[in-house]
Amino acid sequence: MTFEHAPRVAMLSVHTSPLEQPGTGDAGGMNVYVLELSRALAARGARVEIFTRATSSDLPETVVLPGTDATGRELTHDESRDVLLAHAVEPGVTPPVLVHHVPAGPFERLDKNDLPGVLCGMAAGVLRSEAARRPGWYDVVHSHYWLSGQVGRIAADRWEVPLVHTAHTLARVKNASLAPGDSPEPHGRVLGEEQVVAEADALVASTPCEANELVELYGADPSRVHVVEPGVDLDRFAPVPAADRLAARRALGLPVDRDVVLFAGRVQALKAPDVLVQALGVLRATGRPVPLLVVLGGPSGRSTAVRELQALAAVTGVPDDVVVRPPADRDTLATWYHAADVVAMPSRSESFGLVAAEAQASGVPVVAASVGGLRLIVDDGVSGRLVRGHDPAVWADVLSDVLADKAALTTMSASARQVAERFGWGTTADQLLKVYGVAAEGR
C-alpha cells in the first residue's frame, strides 16, 4: 500500500530524547537512530513529529529542526508551519522535524524502571497533539523501545492507524548475557514487550538475528517482522589521509607514537569496557606492548561507573594506560575515530552496534564481541575481528595481534569503509516507508 501523500509520522521515544548527547545515562545509538531516521524520512517528504518525555521545566515545548525548500534554502518558521499543515508536500521540499517535550511525571530525571508509572500521562500528552491538529492527522505511529510501544498502543488504537515498533533491545536477550553482578531486566518489562509484540502491526528488527529473537523468544508473527538495517552518516564519518589522522591526535592531546584503542559508549556492564581494561592488564603482565585505551563516554546505570572503571585500571596495573573522556558531539566523535588505530566493542549484547558501523565508515577497523548485530556489521578478518566471549586474555591476544600487524591493519582500514557503505540512512528510510505501507495495508 502507498499513502496518498507522504505519511505523517508520530515517532515515539519516551525514555530518552533524540536531542540528548549519546554516550551517557540512557542516551546511545537509539537517540542517533531516531533523529537520523526522522531527518531521512523528512527528506522524502514525510512529516515527522517526535514525542519524548520532558525532563526539565526549562525545555521548550517544541523544538523545530528546520526543513528546506526545493533550492536547499532553510525554511523560515512560518514556512515550516505552512509545510507542516499542508495536505501534501511539494516535490523537493524537506519538511521540518518537530521534537515535542511532553510533561509526564516529575521533571527531575527518573530511573528508567520508574517510567511505567508515568506512561498514562505520556499517552495523554501525545493524544492531545492530534486534538490540536485535526482528526486523522497522523498516518502511522512508530515507537522505539518497549516503553514507547506501550504509549504507541494507545495512540495507534485511538487514531485507528498502524503501530510500527522497533525494540532496539530486548529484555530476554539482555538477561541471557548479563555481566557478573549485573541486575536482570524486571519481569514487568518482559510482559510489556510481549504486549507490544502481540499488538504491533509491524515489528522492525535491525538484523536477521533480532528478527529470529522476536519470533523465538516472544512469539512474534513472522509475517509482521521486517528486517531494516539502521544507517550511518557516510558523509560525516569518512576516511581521512594519514596526515589528518596525526592532526586529529594532536588536536585531542593524544600521543602520535603509540597505538590507540578507542571505546565509545556508555560506561556500564552491558558495554563491558572492563574487559578492555583487564585485557591491558594481561598485556602488561605478559610483557607485550600496551596500547592507550581511550574510554569516550559517561556513566550509565550507576553514577560511580566511571570511577569504578578507573579503580579497576589502578588495581590491574594500568592506571596510566586508560584515559576517560566525556561523550563527544557527532563531529568531534568523527575526529576521535580518526585518531584511533582500532575501535573496540566488547559488548555483551548489541541489537545493531552503531559505533562499529560509524568507525568502519571512518576507515577504522573494529574489534568486537561476536554478539547480536556486531556479527552483521563487522566482517571478521576483513574490516576487523570478532571475538568469542569476554575473556580478557583472549581479548589481549586479539588486540595485540591486530595492532602488531601494521600491513594487515592498513588493509582492514581500507576494507572497513567498503563494508560500511552498505549502511545508509536513505536506504533505511526507503525501506521503512515500505513497512509503513505494508502495516497500513494489513490494518
Q: In what order do the strands lie in the sheet with 47-53?
A: 62-65, 97-102, 47-53, 8-12, 140-144, 163-166, 202-205, 225-227
Top pLDDT among 182 and 215 is at 215
Span of 107-116, 123-132, 337-346, 363-372 with lowest mean pLDDT: 107-116
For residue 85, the model assigns a pLDDT of 82
User: Which residues are bridge partners to 262 per DSSP?
Assistant: 294, 343
CB of 358 closer than 8 Å to CB of 377: no
Q: Domain limits of the chain?
A: 8-231+424-442, 242-420
Higher pLDDT, 265 or 107: 265
Instruction: Say how far apart CA 66 and CA 356 lie, in whole Å.
Output: 29
- Binding-site positions read 15, 21-22, 26-31, 112, 145, 169, 189, 266, 271, 337-338, 340, 350, 358
- How far apart CA 317 and CA 328 sit, in angstroms, is 27
Minimum mean pLDDT range among 86-100, 141-155, 157-171, 361-375 = 86-100
CA–CA distance, 424 with 284 (Å, rounded to integer): 40
pLDDT greater than 70 at residue 391: yes
- pLDDT one-digit tens code per residue, 395-430: 999 999 999 999 999 999 999 999 999 999 999 999
- Does the pLDDT value for residue 432 go beyond 90? yes
pLDDT bracket for residue 439 (50, 70, 90): very high
Asked if domains 8-231+424-442 and 242-420 share a fold, the reply is yes
Q: Percent of the chain having pLDDT more than 70?
A: 99
Condensed to tens digits (0 to 9), the pLDDT of residues 36-72 reads: 999 999 999 999 999 999 988 889 999 999 999 888 8
pLDDT of the residue at 371: 94
- Considering just the CA atoms, what is the radius of gyration of the chain in Å? 22
- pLDDT, mean over the chain: 93
pLDDT at 1 over 60: no
Pair 195, 150: CB distance under 8 Å: yes
Kindly tell me if the per-residue pLDDT of 190 is higher than 90.
Answer: yes
pLDDT reported for residue 4: 66
Q: Which three cell numbers stand for residue 230?
A: 539502521
Binding site members for UDP-N-acetyl-alpha-D-glucosamine:
21-22, 29, 266, 271, 350, 358
Confidence of residue 282 (pLDDT cuts 50, 70, 90): very high
Which residues lie below 8 Å from residue 318, measured CB to CB, with a gap of 6+? Answer: 277, 280, 281, 284, 290, 293
Assign domain 8-231+424-442 one CATH number from 1.20.1430.10, 3.30.1490.190, 3.40.50.2300, 3.40.50.2000. 3.40.50.2000
pLDDT band, very low/low/confident/very high, at 89 (cuts 50, 70, 90): confident
Residue positions forming the annotated binding site for 1D-myo-inositol 3-phosphate: 15, 26-31, 112, 145, 169, 189
Average pLDDT over residues 260-265: 97
User: Taking residues 78-95, what's their average pLDDT?
Assistant: 86
Residues belonging to the binding site for Mg(2+) are: 337-338, 340
pLDDT at 352 over 70: yes
Q: How confident is the model at residue 166 (pLDDT cuts 50, 70, 90)?
A: very high
Q: Mean pLDDT across the stretch 200-208?
A: 96
pLDDT digits (tens, 9 = 90+) for 208-246: 999 999 999 999 999 999 999 999 999 999 999 999 999
Instruction: Return the CATH architecture of domain 242-420.
Output: 3-Layer(aba) Sandwich (3.40)
Integer angstrom CA distances of residue 139 from 150, 160, 350: 18, 9, 31
User: How do strand 62-65 and strand 97-102 relate by DSSP bridges?
Assistant: antiparallel
Q: Check residue 5 and give its pLDDT.
A: 74
Residue 435 pLDDT exceeds 80: yes
Residue 351 has pLDDT above 90, yes or no: no
| pLDDT score at 3 | 65
Average pLDDT over residues 329-349: 96
From residue 54, alpha-carbon distances to 109, 147, 371, 423 in Å are 9, 15, 34, 32
- The model's confidence at residue 300, banded by pLDDT at 50, 70 and 90, is confident
Strand partners, 264: 296
Task: Name the band, by pLDDT with cuts 50, 70 and 90, for residue 309.
Answer: very high
Under 8 Å between Cβ of 328 and 23: yes
pLDDT score, position 168:
93
- The predicted model gives 357-363 an average pLDDT of 97
pLDDT at 71: 87
Q: What is the pTM of this model?
A: 0.91
pLDDT at 24: 73
- Residue 397 is predicted with a pLDDT of 98
For residue 301 the three cell numbers come to: 546505570
